[in-house]
């Protein structure tokens, strides 16, 4: 997700590139605060334990729900009502192929064993009052 690299950049720091803390997102701060040009990239995601998988490239979104596949132009059809997979077969084939491999890689990465990390152990301990009556 792009939130962490963007928020770290806003705070004036960068993410630790060493595993297991390496991030797959990108810093969007230049595009948000400095009018930098948008970066074109493919996005992949999954939902409901891999029952739903998707890939987005430009205006198009490939969606797979169990054994059903769909192609939408999310700019012209934001409600995703018109399945374009028969009308735009070249776009469908391009995204279906990249969507499957990208989603497989995404899912493999998420199934890797990660060492247990306690957020509490990485936060500084302070003795700040809990409420106004403690102050």
What confidence score (pLDDT) does residue 100 get?
55
- Reported as a single tens digit per residue, the pLDDT across 113-129 is 333 333 333 333 333 44
Q: Is residue 121 part of a domain?
A: no
Strands annotated E in 1-135: 43-47, 52-57, 60-65, 68-73
So what's the pLDDT on residue 101?
Answer: 57
* CATH number reported for the structural domain that contains residue 96 in this entry: 3.30.1120.10
Residues of the chain under the 50 pLDDT cut: 104, 109-130, 132, 134-135
Answer yes or no: do 48 and 34 share one domain.
no
pTM of the complete model: 0.58
For the chain, how many structural domains are there in total? 2
Q: Quick one: pLDDT at residue 38? A: 80
Same domain for 44 and 108: yes
Of the candidates 27, 50, 26, the one whose C-alpha atom is nearest the C-alpha of residue 99 is 50
Quick one: 28 and 60 in the same domain?
no
Domain contains 123: no
Which pLDDT score is estimated for 42? Answer: 83
Domain hosting residue 11, numbered range? 1-39
């Amino acid at each position: 997700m792009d939130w962490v690299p963007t928020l770290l950049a806003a705070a004036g720091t960068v993410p630790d590139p060493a595993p297991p803390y390496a991030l797959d997102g990108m810093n969007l701060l230049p595009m948000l605060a400095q009018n930098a040009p948008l970066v074109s990239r493919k996005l992949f995601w999954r939902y409901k334990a891999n029952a739903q998988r998707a890939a987005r490239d430009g205006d198009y979104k490939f969606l797979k729900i169990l054994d059903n596949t769909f192609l939408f132009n999310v700019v012209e059809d934001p409600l995703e009502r018109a399945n374009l997979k028969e009308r735009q077969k070249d776009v469908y084939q391009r995204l279906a192929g990249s969507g499957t491999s990208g989603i497989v890689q995404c899912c493999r990465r998420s199934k890797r064993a990660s060492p247990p990390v306690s957020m509490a152990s990485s936060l500084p301990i302070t003795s700040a009052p809990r409420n106004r009556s403690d102050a």
